[in-house]
Amino acid sequence: MSEVIDAPDGLQQVRDLLARGAQPPIGRTLDFSLVEVERGRAVFEGTPDERHYNPMGGVHGGYAATLLDSACGIAVHSMLKPDQGFTTLELKVSYLRGMNDRTGPVRAEGRVVNIGRRVAFAEADIRDADGRVMATATSTLLVLAK
């Protein structure tokens, strides 16, 4: 029991990863990084390019969806107790502007809307360097006991 009490909560777990310069494997795959975290909020940054293109010559919607899912998930994780985890149950994405290799850097900011014992709700948006909204998402996440 003392292991759980002494274990870091979700926010500290994420802060420890940032302090070590660690990034999730999906971030390495798609070349985006967690850059900020506080209780109930997480920010990822990336720069879409041709590696992320779909067959029509624009950035695949999965790139935005992955950034948004990551931002929502880590925002929720930052509010969890040491003995909790999470998984995404639902992610609804709205694409407002297409991205391409000229878009430049984008920021996905996730925020917790509400968190209960078993379910959390979060929202996120992606903005370009000029602050234009590229995509938004709402997410429902299941809070799990480890």
Helices (H), 21-128: 25-30, 61-77
Report the CATH number that the domain containing residue 100 is assigned in CATH: 3.10.129.10
pLDDT by residue (tens digit) across 105-140? 999 999 999 999 999 999 999 999 999 999 999 999
In DSSP terms, 95 is beta-bridged to 135
Q: Is 40 helix (H, G, I), strand (E, B) or coil?
A: coil
Our count of domains for the chain comes to 1
pLDDT by residue (tens digit) across 25-66? 899 999 999 999 999 999 999 999 999 999 999 999 999 999
Helices (H), the chain: 2-6, 10-20, 25-30, 61-77
Range of the domain at 70: 2-145
What predicted TM-score, i.e. pTM, was given to this entire model? 0.94
Q: Is 24 helix (H, G, I), strand (E, B) or coil?
A: coil
